[in-house]
Amino acid sequence: MNVMICDPISPRGIALFKQRPELKVTVLEKRLTEAELIPLIADVEAMVVRSETKITRKVIENAPKLRVVGRAGVGVDNVDVEAATERGIVVMNTPGGNTISTAELTFSMLMALARHIPQAHGSMKAGEWNRKSFSGTELYNKTLGILGMGRIGAEVAKRAQAFGMSVVAYDPYLSVSRAQALNVETLSLDAIYARSDFITVHMPMTDETKGMINSAAIQKMKRGVRLLNCARGGIIAESDLIEGIRNGQVAGAALDVYEVEPLAKDHPLRALPQVIMTPHLGASTDEAQENVGIEVAEAITDYLLMGGVRNAVNLPSLDAKTYAQVKPYLQLGEKLGLFLAQLAPKQNDRIFITYGGKAQELAVTDPVTRAILKGFLSLSAGKDLNYVNVRAQAAARGLTVEEKRSDEPVTFNEWLHVSVFSGDQKVSAGGTFFGSPNNPRIVRVFSRPVEIHPEGVVLLLNNKDRPGIVGYLGTLFAKHQVNIASMSLSRDTAGGQALSVFQLDTLPPTSLLEDIRKDPDISNVRVVKL
């Protein structure tokens, strides 16, 4: 079996591959482009990458024997996971390997930024002795704003507190109990901007976070603020940062990641003396690289020789028989999680999952629970979220996960129910299968019976059970050229309150939602995309 190591990994990782006589190992001497890689992979069954080599759809299409791709690191942005999944190729990563190394780099950058260490070093190397030009600021009694309190953000907070800094944090998904355990004060973004002397970013790249540190945000910050980004390039808009530095609003910045990597030689960031820069070194420590090299070698070898699956981002860690049993529930669970993510508040304390009917007879429920969490966290956690790290992501937010196998009688043969709690507030949904495992349905929402095919656009609203309400809503949909695919109504009593659910062919325009909300008998109008 041919294994190709496309990017440098630790010698111990390479040695682990080579010690197995069943494996033929090829170590590429340099990073290859897509066109250069394709002629070499016709017989390759496993590929190992870090962040440089791109495993694109075209690469996958030209590797007919490829069975597994291993990423020696956390993020898999350079691997087309969807194309791999379509081909049945397992994509593995090494979760958690760079948490400490990235946190330590961030804090090193923070200290260097405060005391102008790189600039002073450069001056000394140039033969100068210029003390007055490099007067810095102390960290003690300063306020550090952390955007994103996952594993790395939490480690940065510990180090800042040890230096006597006051730590404030923005993370709309962090529970109150978790924030208290970390001894940080959670604030709104605007409050973070107004109070912080330093601001560091530790959030995934999502539609919500892309470019969030822009001109408008920078203008809300303290004059003389210092910014750090060792997370994902693009969260800080580089052109706006440059403008903020030039006009004096931003005193300095420390960057390890960039919108486009490698950074262009003539990029204007390079010309600013207030900016400290490193070439994406977050995971570049001997310990981190040793760990991820060994971990990826062990995982791929185990898969190729024994069929074991671990640390897979697109497949639960299961044997073939068990996977066939739980596979239908993975799709249903992920859809239930995604559905509730769009109905629940951003800040939640607990998820309670009930397995009933035939579902409580599953050999294992952990993969289904992970699928539910993956759906629930997917809108906020970005591309790095997967089956492997999803429980850790939930724990980092202080989200308690509880599971129960229930033998209580249920209406359906299979029963999967999820409740999400935020203090005293609860949102819930239950699902089952109609006829076959390939036909999932959401059949309970807020304890009301409904029928929702978990695909496409769903509009939910509460309304008074009055004559003509369905016709009235239908007229509004027609007025705005929105077609109803199906609908489901559930009322508590005649003339009481009802939950109405509409599956639509397209997203409803804002004008339609505004018209619906004008009716005093209608409330809680929400749109969910599945």
Q: What is the 3-state secondary structure (H, E, C) of 39-76?
A: HHCCCEEEEEECCCCCECHHHHHCCCCCCEEEECCCCC
Active-site residue 185, yes or no? no
Tell me whether residue 33 is exposed, middle or buried, using C-beta atoms within 10 angstroms of its C-beta: 0 to 12, 13 to 18, 19 or more.
exposed
Say which of 20, 31, 115, 280 is annotated catalytic: 280
Q: Which of 232, 397, 417, 448 is catalytic?
A: 232
What token pair was written down for 30? Answer: 């340099």
Count the neighbouring beta carbons within 10 Å of the beta carbon of residue 506.
Answer: 12
Short-list 106, 191, 90, CA closest to 150: 106
Task: Give the separation between CA 110 and CA 116, rounded to whole angstroms.
Answer: 10
> Would residue 295 show up in a list of annotated catalytic residues for this protein?
no
C-alpha 216 chain-centroid distance: 25
Residue 397 near residue 175, CB atoms below 8 Å: yes
Residue 280 is a catalytic residue: yes
Cα-to-chain-centroid distance, residue 47 = 24
401 CB-contact burial (10 Å; exposed 0-12 / middle 13-18 / buried 19+): middle
Q: What pTM did the predictor assign?
A: 0.69
What is the predicted pLDDT for the residue at 76? 85
For the chain, list residues with pLDDT below 70: 96, 316-320, 383-384, 388
d(CA 26, CA 4): 5
What 3-state DSSP class applies to 291? helix
For the record, the structure tokens of 510 come out as 């804002």
- How many residues comprise the chain? 530
> DSSP string of 350-369?
EEEEEEEEGGGG-S--HHHH
Single-letter amino acid code for the residue at 199: I
Q: Please name which of 425, 333, 341 lies closest in space to residue 377, comparing C-alpha atoms.
A: 341
d(CA 2, CA 20) in angstroms, rounded, equals 12
Closest CA to 93 of 291, 374, 259: 291
Question: Which residues, at least 6 apart from 361, have a Cβ–Cβ distance to it below 8 Å?
Answer: none
Q: Give the integer Cα–Cα distance in Å for 518 and 525.
A: 11
Q: Which domains does the chain carry?
A: 1-96+283-315 (3.40.50.720), 99-277 (3.40.50.720)
pLDDT in tens, 462-482: 999 999 999 999 999 999 999
Distance CA 431, CA 329 (A): 9
* Degrees to nearest 5, angle at CA 67 with 62 and 73: 100
261 φ, ψ to 5°?
Answer: -120, 140
pLDDT of residue 358: 92
pLDDT of the residue at 414 = 93
Give the model's pLDDT for residue 318: 66
**For strand 522-529 and strand 457-464, is the pairing parallel, antiparallel, or unpaired?**
antiparallel
Catalytic one of 61, 128, 261, 514: 261
Give the DSSP letter string of 452-485: E-SSSEEEEEEEE--TTHHHHHHHHHHHTT--EE
